[in-house]
Amino acid sequence: MSINEILLEVKGLKMHFPLTQGIIIQRQVGAVKAVDGLNFFIRRGETLGLVGESGCGKSTTGRAILQLYRPTAGQVLFEGQDLCKMAGERLRQMRRRMQMIFQDPYASLNPRMTVGNIIGEPMEIHNLAKGKEKQEKVQELLRVVGLNPYFSNRYPHEFSGGQRQRIGVARALAVQPEFIVCDEPISALDVSIQAQIINLLEELQAEFHLTYLFIAHDLSVVRHLSDRVAVMYLGKIVEIATRDDLYRTPLHPYIKALLSAVPIPDPTVEARRERIILVGDVPSPVNPPSGCNFHTRCPIAIPLCSEQEPAFVDKGVDHWAACHRV
């Protein structure tokens, strides 16, 4: 594989949020290990799906990649340049090439700004267009995402959830990015609207040659949209594989349990299928278990699992997993 194929590479990424105690004199007494040592890459033009339970660190990963959170440790290499070492004007210029579609279309749009100003603001910040040219580009972006171009003078409260998310997509496209982090962009929408947004993202990717990090916890949506899938558990990636490999031959017991919970629309297959039920709750990221994070809930754990953290190694053709039992 040529290094030129890789658009984004993450090495040893950690995002720890400090826990403090005291009112006047505060001192750190611990840390929430939201993201704890991630390693993965995304090829140009592909979609990497990132899945896992709520609170496992998916959204934090996306924000740390874009430097909305400054990582505690690690590297985020965008075309070989480390974003973690950038600041000021240099980082601002790189941000034009990376954008984000947020989870909540109701909270991510400024209610005091018109749709035209919301979509046009990134163009002004990056000196891409002003005046009449900006207005024309805003109308064109509204048309691209399936909205009436004459809606630019309206305010966010005049739109439905699906329409607001389309506005968020248009805002992300305003600076002509190469890479977009889609942070659960459909989880707050009705099921009928979810399909429309997924189809829109696919069309835009083909038209503008975009690269996506698609964060979700709906395994069916991720299977439909992604080229490769990474699965997170408690701040760590436990398995990465191509979409078909992961769903056909999962290696990690956590993925097997997740996939066993996805209903299959065939009564005969569903009746024969083994259902894996995980016991216990997800441990706290403040004090994660020793060794493998998953060993407290794993049905096939051995003593080694609680003593030594498993290495994240290649188990096949582009199929990586972190498990002593694989």
CATH number at residue 226: 3.40.50.300
Specify the pTM: 0.90
pLDDT of residue 252: 94
Window from 15-29, 97-111, 262-276 with minimum mean pLDDT: 262-276
- CA dist., res. 90 & res. 256, Å (int): 43
230 is in which domain, residue-wise? 3-20+32-97+177-247
- pLDDT (0 to 100) of residue 305: 93
Residue 248 C-beta-side C-alpha neighbours within 13 Å: 7
For 38, phi then psi, to 5°, come to: -100, 140
Average pLDDT over residues 44-66: 93
Stretch 96-124: mean pLDDT = 92
Q: Is the pLDDT confidence value at 48 over 80?
A: yes
Number of domains in the chain: 1
Position 3 pLDDT exceeds 80: no
Residue 187 falls within a domain, yes or no?
Answer: yes
Single out the residue of 61, 35, 44 nearest to residue 227, CA to CA: 44
Stronger pLDDT, 260 or 254, i.e. the higher one: 254
Q: Phi and psi dihedrals of 134, rounded to 5? A: -65, -45
**Residues found in the chain:** 326
% the chain with pLDDT above 90? 68
Q: CA nearest 73: which of 213, 181, 228, 235?
A: 235
Asked if 145 and 200 touch (Cβ cutoff 8 Å), the reply is: yes
In a domain, 302, yes or no: no
Mean pLDDT of the chain: 91
* Strands of 73-78's sheet in order across: 27-43, 6-21, 73-78, 81-82
Sign of CA dihedral 204, 207, 208, 211: positive
Domain-embedded: residue 205: yes
CA neighbor of 283 nearest in space, from 230, 236, 246, 216: 236
For residue 67, being part of any structural domain is answered with yes
Inside any domain, residue 295? no
Structure tokens at 164: 């607001």
pLDDT, one tens digit per residue, over 174-228 is 999 999 999 999 988 888 889 999 999 999 999 999 999 999 988 889 999 999 9
Residue 39 lies in a domain: yes
Give domain status of residue 195, yes or no. Answer: yes
- Whether 47 maps to a domain, the answer reads yes
Q: Is the pLDDT at 270 greater than 80, yes or no?
A: no
Binned at pLDDT 50, 70 and 90, residue 4 comes out as low
